[in-house]
A and B are shown apart, each in its own frame.
Chain A
């Protein structure tokens, strides 16, 4: 047992403020765990830079009007190499500024990953919780549906849905959301089934606390760790799959999106015009890599076997 020295938690003057401070100290411990892993720190730094890029895009490069998410076309400067004045990373076959695509593409990617991960996490958590808590045939039916979804590879499934709905970036978001919720449902169900076996859930029942309270205070807080880790990993993976779908032409042509940009530039690679595909490709790589690094770090830092013991 590692006891907290008495001097740190004094007998006098303790209020709810103390509880807040103790909880903050615990959160700080998790952050310290994250900070002690160099790979995680690198991932966090890259994510911070990307987020800054997305947030400050209008100040870095003047937004294209009327729609800033459309690539500006400069037909007077087609196929310019990097370093050209006014087109720092060069231009595409159609005179699109690669730098503009890279910077405004980070906004598109952020939008994609937040919307997909946000919606799938909420839907998956609810469905997984219901399956785990109710059990019986409800669980059976829900999990067979999940099995059906899992039996089709993510990319193929999303591709099919997006293709049926027609080429648009919004449809890619929708298709990914439809495909990816099952992961969260499975994780959450497994967590609920395991946690509800714990004596502290029985202890709460003996006290007479309501089912809703037991779920919100005992089950959910103890189940969030793997869901959080999966969400972090998915923040990166979703952009990877989304870019793949864009690349094969399932979003509107000409939008500032990395996958679209890679696709626009690929025809020139054989002729030595490497830049139009390489820079957005590098961004996809860094985005997916950084979130995966942080996700792995988070898994270690939140590991119940090491956390707080």
Chain B
């Protein structure tokens, strides 16, 4: 996967390349690995100097995990995050010694929970002064002055130096976290849902503060959030994630104007609009996010996509999932014998149940796209043999203007759907 406009190297701060982060699932007394949760499954994008990249998606899509990998709090399973060190792109998990410290200083993070991210036993001066102490940048009186300077930049002051985190409001605590992140004068700050836990009015203040600081210091932000209105306000570019993969990426305005991926569309329509008619029901996403340990084949969104086509990767699991939801059907299923993810024999406890299923999957009860994708369906006593078209991973494709999207549909087809 490539990014459309190959940016100038000196313009880059970070380059995320095919990053994967899989967590092993262990079972039993011997802790045998029985599978992997694919929290992040091959994500690429760049962050340039002074820009804000918004990373959005539902909870559980891997955006926080990716943020942790970028801040070097977790090592990627595969792929890597490359940091621009004096024009040389180097993988951050391979940095050592002085280079590792240089990266550490230049990539800071602000966490969602302002209370949990500040040690409750430390005073503000300890919290904000700590990075300066770690790098021997200031001591005693000088340290106090530097901390006061930082506090003033985030709208706090000298009077707050000797207080504990619990003596502040949520917004003030987040300001302390931001001051701490600024202390080492970093190039980039990973903001992991920094305003999600705050009141709307306080949220706006923090966002404005972040904007001002970015302008003053030419900071780059990776803004992780599930809140599209925040990201619209903050981000220059967007990366929309779904189940560990990038659904769509590009300029924020362009994506808001015309989303190229049905998932992005759904996310936007799920947001209640103040100006919209209160009687119009907000359309949201239906169904649950599939298990990231067994992500759907083809396009990962096809199980919930209203625009799904036969080419989106329909598979045996979709039939099983449909059976789970169909009343009185699932208990008759006694076994699934898979040849591949796309072909299997379903065994039922009665011929009647098998017959019901083979009728149902031929009828309107299942999406038309699924029916079309079905290559074979044969009923043999109490067994049903099903085979779907084999479909590979739907790769991200470049759509011009620096946009990428992972969807088999053309942008016009996605766009026309909004008028349906």
Contacts and interface: CB of A to CB of B under 8 A. Distances in A.
Interface of A: 1-4, 6, 9-11, 14-16, 18-19, 21-23, 26, 198-200, 202-210, 213, 217-218, 221-222, 304, 308-309
| A-B interface, 7 closest residue pairs, ranked by CB to CB distance from nearest | A208-B104, A199-B117, A199-B116, A200-B119, A199-B111, A207-B131, A1-B169
A74 to B, nearest CB: 56
Interface in B70-118: 71-73, 101, 104-105, 107-109, 111, 113, 116-118
Interface string B114-156: 0011111111010000110011000010001000000000000
Contacts of A23: 123
A218 B119 contact: yes
B167 interface: yes
B168 interface: yes
Contact of B104 (A21, A203, A206, A304): A206
A216 to B, nearest CB: 12
Contact of B161 (A18, A21, A204): A18
A203 B163 contact: no
Contact of B163 (A4, A207, A309): A4
A19 B120 contact: no
15 contacts: A2-B167, A3-B167, A18-B162, A23-B123, A26-B164, A200-B119, A202-B111, A202-B117, A203-B180, A206-B71, A206-B72, A208-B104, A209-B130, A209-B134, A217-B119
Q: Please indicate which of the listed interface residues A18, A23, A205, A206 has the most CB atoms of chain B within 10 Å of its own CB.
A: A206
A271 B122 CA distance: 63
Contacts of A208: 101, 104-105, 131, 134-135
For chain A, what secondary structure do more than half of its interface residues adopt (helix, strand, loop), or is it mixed? helix
Given A199-B117, A208-B105, A14 B161 contact: yes
A2 B119 CA distance: 18
Given A202-B73, A206-B104, A9 B162 contact: yes
B162 A308 contact: no
Nearest to A208: B104
A222 B120 CA distance: 8
Given A4-B167, A206-B73, 9 more contacts: A11-B157, A14-B144, A18-B162, A19-B125, A22-B164, A26-B164, A203-B111, A207-B134, A217-B122
A199 B113 contact: yes
A199 B157 CA distance: 24
B191 to A, nearest CB: 12
Nearest to A200: B119
Contacts of B144: 14-15
A22 B123 contact: yes
A14 B123 CA distance: 14
B116 A200 contact: yes
A222 B163 CA distance: 18
Given A1-B169, A9-B162, A206 B116 contact: no
Contacts of B122: 217
B158 interface: yes
B104 A22 contact: no
B130 A9 contact: no
